[in-house]
Amino acid sequence: MIRDYLFHFILVVGFFPVFSQVDLIQNVYNRNSTSLNGSWHYIVDPYENGYYNYRLMPFDQQESPNAGAFFLNSKPKSPSDLIEYNFDIMDTIQVPGDWNSQKPELLYYEGTVWYKKSFDYTFTKSQGRLFLYFEASNYKTEVYLNGTKLGTHIGGFTPFNFEITDLVKEKDNFLIVKVDNKRLKEGVPTLNTDWWNYGGITRNVKILEMPEIFIQDYFIQLHPEDTQLLKGHVLLNGEDLDRKKIRISIPGLNVDQVMKTNTAGYVTFEIQAFDIQYWSTAKPFLYDIVLATDDDKIRDQIGFRTIRTKGSQILLNNNPVYLKGISIHEESPLHGGRGSTKEDAEQLLTWAQELGCNYVRLAHYPHNEHMVRLADQKGILVWEENPVYWTIDWENEATYQNAKNQLAELIARDKNRASVIIWSMANETPNVPARNSFLSRLAEFTRTKDATRLISAALEQKSFEDDPNTRTIDDPFADKVDVLSFNQYIGWYDGLPEKCGLIRWNIKQDKPVIISEFGGGAKQGYFGDKSVRWTEEYQEDLYIQTLKMVDRMEKVSGMSPWILVDFRSPRRVLPKIQDGWNRKGLLSDEGKRKKAFYVLQNYYLLKKMP
């Protein structure tokens, strides 16, 4: 039996319980690992014949599943044996990567695909423990090693791991992964989105070698109210954890402190530190951190800064900051499809910096870890978002637990990143009682997990009934957030660009305001009069008029127009213009700049800090 392998229920999908993985290991980014990336064999299984028998009973819930169960990787023992699949002679696909962009015949496919990877691995228990780690897989992932089910993960954009110490063999291991990206009413996100539902193992897969007792989790941040006090916790994983020594070293601050854990392997700490060089957008300084026990040592690079609000201002290290931003989808600018590499992240953030940004909104789901790690290095502030999008099944408790779990995994992964300043609960959700309760619970949960960052959500604006040209934010969830954010498309979905000159804003909340989205579409290279939709001139004029409107608004502390680069969306079907692409990008899908790019770039160049 795999040690520490205690599953717990997180939600129910259909008739069958779904289990979560064992607790997430933090900072895999800086740990030694063996990559399982590369070519994997795959089987497309739209009827899920490899998972269910003809009575619709899952094979992995039967004591003696027959050889038709794909996770068994069965082979005929004699010429007369009937086995109707063979991974080893199937086509291959690259991991990480989505199947939609790799295989033309799967461009629109939504359903189940089985993956299989064979590998050898030399390891003995005396060396410690082994874990299998997935950075992300979309959407419902069921994992089997050598015919044994490890567990199930729900959610397409957050990491998960399983212990495999007692299952790995020296030769001929076979890892089989069932990935199902069908959209679900009770899912997070739900059925209807405005981006491509890329399926597959979309980020790296690794094997981690860990000691018997290892550092599983830690949190090291500045105390929100004392800028010379480091505060946090460390958690060990293993057995007999009482009074284990943990050393925290920060050479750049002359910090070298030893602590002892409680019986659960947990310790909290406060460390006085002087002459701290604070992380900022101008000087994104990162300290080398070393955490060590008698058996384990891990390094990280962490910046120390405070982020808070005061009235209508956002304060970074107690200084007002204006968020000159852009929204970004996680698509690869280099090869198309879902982005996953450090090179993808580097290109997207470089374009954002060339635009003049000091801030990015990562929409509408958690992006890969390269994005926030590079943002730390580049001095770019980051909004991270839970994929609660449009119309979720608000009254379904399982749906709430799903959203909560995805948010928890995001916070666990990125809570030590200085660049991350905002956790966003949702995007463009309706003002109804069930939703208000759903989001309020998420916000309360987030504050218990991390009290050092701001909470927001991309809300919607509305007009006064007796004055359609005056806009406001009338939403009870506005009282729950630290930063009031909203999307508006005056000049695109709401009139023409000149309407921006007629609109007045009456925002009553005394909070910083971020315009989380605005913009309009243009086909790169399509030129004409500014009154003609889809021309670069129309988009250019829309940005000119919107920015004039923004300058008349009070309490605005930043913006993240929609969007940096054109991205795929099945909703966008207009021939010769959209062709399956949302064209609101300031750059085309080929990275070519549109005229509106230069409008926003010049605005940010001239924008004075408050």
* Statement: the pTM of the whole predicted model exceeds 0.85: yes
- Rounded Cα distance between 436 and 414, Å, is 26
Reported confidence tier of residue 610, pLDDT bands at 50, 70, 90: low
* pLDDT tens column, 150-195: 999 999 999 999 999 999 999 999 999 999 999 999 999 999 999 9
Q: What residue spans in the chain does CATH classification 2.60.120.260 cover?
A: 9-210
- Rounded Cα distance between 91 and 43, Å, is 8
pLDDT of amino acid 69: 95
* pLDDT tens column, 193-206: 999 999 999 999 99
pLDDT at 519 over 90: yes
Q: Using a pLDDT cut of 70, give the percent of the chain over it.
A: 96
pLDDT of amino acid 277: 97
Place of tokens 């039996």: 1
- Rounded Cα distance between 129 and 149, Å, is 18
Average pLDDT, the chain: 94
- Rounded Cα distance between 580 and 578, Å, is 5
- Element (H or E) spanning 19, and its range? strand 16-19
Give the DSSP letter of residue 20.
P
Q: What residue spans in the chain does CATH classification 3.20.20.80 cover?
A: 309-606
* pLDDT tens column, 328-340: 999 999 999 999 9
- Rounded Cα distance between 174 and 89, Å, is 15
- Rounded Cα distance between 278 and 40, Å, is 45
Residue in 352, 318, 347 with CA at minimum distance from that of residue 332: 347
Q: What residue spans in the chain does CATH classification 2.60.40.10 cover?
A: 214-295
- Rounded Cα distance between 607 and 324, Å, is 9
Residue in 261, 309, 328, 366 with CA at minimum distance from that of residue 519: 328
- Rounded Cα distance between 234 and 229, Å, is 16
Residues 6+ apart with CB under 8 A from 532: 538
pLDDT at 13 over 60: no
pLDDT at 56 over 80: yes
Reported confidence tier of residue 8, pLDDT bands at 50, 70, 90: very low
pLDDT at 267 over 70: yes
pLDDT of amino acid 1: 31
Average pLDDT over residues 113-134: 94
Average pLDDT over residues 546-564: 97
pLDDT at 210 over 70: yes
- Three-state DSSP at 519 gives coil
What is the sign of the dihedral through the CA atoms of 149, 213, 402 and 413?
A: negative
Tell me the fold of 309-606.
TIM Barrel (3.20.20)
- Three-state DSSP at 95 gives strand
What is the CATH code of the structural domain delimited by 214-295?
2.60.40.10
pLDDT at 22 over 90: no
* pLDDT tens column, 280-324: 999 999 999 999 999 999 999 999 999 999 999 999 999 999 999
> What top-level class would CATH report for the domain 9-210?
mainly beta
CA distances from 289 to 204, 218, 255, 430, 506 (A): 25, 11, 10, 43, 46
